[in-house]
Amino acid sequence: MATINFNAGNYDFSQDTTSSYEPLPEGYYNVIAIESEIRETKAGTGNYLQFKFEVVDGQHKGRYIWDRFNLRNPNPKAVEIAQENLARFCQSAGLKSISDSFELHHRPVKVKVAHREWNGQTQTEIKGYRKADLGNSFQAPPSNDTPF
């Protein structure tokens, strides 16, 4: 047990949209990738590259969305689709090639968000990438990330 004398009543989250667990509404969002990692599939038969994106403007600024790109999968069509989507992401971020996923961090892109039903729940998924339309008003925050 630790005595801390903290009053949570000093904080008003009634208008807070950044901590909502509801799916983002369908539409287009300017985002930046803030994290990426390679993960093994649940079945253990492949792996995927997962990105965490942060919405950088508008009503849902600060909210997160994730996307996965199958790198190795027993279904070659899944890998083909993932490579095409990763290519769209790279090109939308202004890159023709990358050697590390970190190169895509903090580069604004616009994503199309849609909903899908999965196990009785509505989930958010990214259905497309294109160049962000932020003009010169956006500056990526300084990053303490370093590639591994």
Q: Give the pLDDT confidence of 29-63 residue by residue, as tens digits.
A: 999 999 999 999 999 999 999 999 999 999 999 99
pLDDT at 88: 97
Pairwise CA distance, residues 65 & 53, whole Å = 5
Band the pLDDT of 22: cuts 50, 70, 90: confident
Give, in words, the CATH class of 23-131.
mainly beta
Which residue bears the tokens 């970190």?
Answer: 102
Kindly report the pTM of this predicted structure.
0.80
What pLDDT does 9 receive?
84
Predicted local confidence at residue 148, as pLDDT: 42
Sheet holding 121-131, edge to edge: 64-72, 47-55, 27-40, 109-118, 121-131
- Residues 84-101 have a mean pLDDT of 96
Indicate whether 7 pLDDT > 70.
Answer: yes
Average pLDDT rounded to a whole number, residues 6-24: 74
Among residues 70, 68, 81, 65, which one has the least CA distance to residue 26? 65
